[in-house]
Amino acid sequence: MEAPLRILIADDHAILRAGLKAILSMEPDLAVVGEAGDGAEALRLTRELAPELVLLDLHMPNMNGLTALGMLREQFPQVKVLVLTSMEDEAYMFRVIEAGGAGYVLKRAADEELLAAIREVRMGGSFVRPAIARSLAQDYLQRMETGDQDRDAYERLTPREQEVLGHVARGLTNQQIADSLVISVRTVETHRAHVMDKLGLKGRAELVAYAMRKGYLA
């Protein structure tokens, strides 16, 4: 049996942390290994407890969530970070994904989406709400029109790279893509890297936006 996913909860509200811990502790494949009340403590506990996933609030004392997210991704690139917040500002959604966040879950929808988001991230995917995807697409297209982004290089992709792009856009994990195409996960990762390089994309945020423009997420 696969070991439970090790999770660190970082939120400055103790009651919320307790509620999240109670929910997650009921799942046999998940294990809460620690709780942090601010961004600085989240970094320290990540170093000490080696979680595989950090649930991170955006607004916390001593160090805000976006700063903590950037430092977590820089210092612990193997750790996934899933933002959990009450903010619905599209600008923050974009910044979270651009900073390397694996997803963005609203606190008001946590009871419906959090477990699904965690398991999606565990499988190597990202949790992107439709509203976020639309925002990313609009931002990307605007930069295309102003010349800040290279023009399409889609024709430079090999047929297999185009297949991988389509699967990624539909939200499939690397393992699911590998199973579908009957190739190894490492090969999927290589194709994804080539797609990003050929299309001049800097992260998953731009990949999702590009995929929407090509019609994969219509």
Residue-range domains of the chain with CATH: 5-127 (3.40.50.2300), 133-214 (1.10.10.10)
pTM for this predicted structure: 0.63
pLDDT of 50 strictly over 90? yes
Query: What are 57's two structure tokens?
Result: 């609030």
Per-residue pLDDT, averaged over 53-58, amounts to 93
Structure tokens at 75: 């210092």
Q: What is the pLDDT of residues 4-49, one digit of tens each?
A: 999 999 999 999 899 999 989 999 999 999 999 999 999 999 999 9
- 3, exposed or middle or buried, with CB in 10 Å at 0-12, 13-18, 19+? exposed
Residue 59 has pLDDT above 80, yes or no: yes
Antiparallel, parallel or unpaired: β 5-10 and 103-106: unpaired
Bridge partners of 82, per DSSP, are 55, 103
